[in-house]
Amino acid sequence: MIVAGGYLIGIGHIDMVTSLFIATLGSTTGFMSMYKIGDWFGVRIIEQGKIKFLPLDSVHTVERWFRHYGYWLIVINRFLSGTRAVVGFFAGMAEVKFLPTAILCFVSAMLWNGILLYAGTLLGQNWEQIGSYLTTYSQIVTALIVIALVILGIFWHRRRGKNNA
């Protein structure tokens, strides 16, 4: 969605600064929501065995690591897909300080969203050229698929002829 927003920036429909601020605010709100869930309910959820696929020993190990490396994890997690909610949850469960967590989350989200918006902006500014590349690619792939189907059809037809003889 962020890249699509960047595309809209690139074609001049929306503003970069506003888009970056809104995307970053949304990212930070989501992360901090998971932080609060981890803070309020995390230990109870884990220790009651509500999450069966996480062994309790492993959870405590992750919690110790988080207490030691937590702020670095908050900064780099934005660049690792699939980790944001988990890192937010464990940050809350490990009771890292709220304000530094929120600030670091906001900064890393702003950097990540800026990269995605910029990529989308480049896409929007160059959509005609990219469109011609995609058209050429599509034509080549279509031709290769047609050739492969013709070859498979010939082999199938020959094999079928041998079986009937």
- 131 in the same domain as 80: no
Answer whether residue 8 shows pLDDT above 70.
yes
Same domain? 159 vs 98: no
Report pLDDT for 16. 93
Residues 98 and 153 in one domain: no
Based on C-alpha coordinates, what's the Rg of the chain?
25
Confidence of residue 144 (pLDDT cuts 50, 70, 90): very high
Inter-residue contact 34 to 89 (CB < 8 Å): yes
Higher pLDDT, 161 or 35: 35
Q: Does the pLDDT of residue 122 top 70, yes or no?
A: yes
- Is residue 99 domain-shared with residue 164, that is, in the same domain? no
pLDDT of residue 55: 67
pLDDT at 80 over 80: no
- Report the pLDDT value the prediction gives residue 49, as an integer from 0 to 100: 67
**Domain match, 120 and 145 both:** no
Please report the pLDDT score of residue 24 as a whole number. Answer: 96
One domain for residues 121 and 147 = no
Residue 23's pLDDT is what?
Answer: 95
**Total domains, the chain:** 2
**Interior CA angle at 54 toward 48 and 55, to 5°?**
80
* C-alpha separations of 153 from 9, 145, 161 in Å: 47, 12, 12
Domain carrying residue 157: 126-165
Residues 57 and 71 placed together within one structural domain of the fold:
yes
Based on the domain organization, do 104 and 149 belong to the same domain?
A: no
Q: Are residues 88 and 62 in the same domain?
A: yes
Same domain, 107 and 121: yes
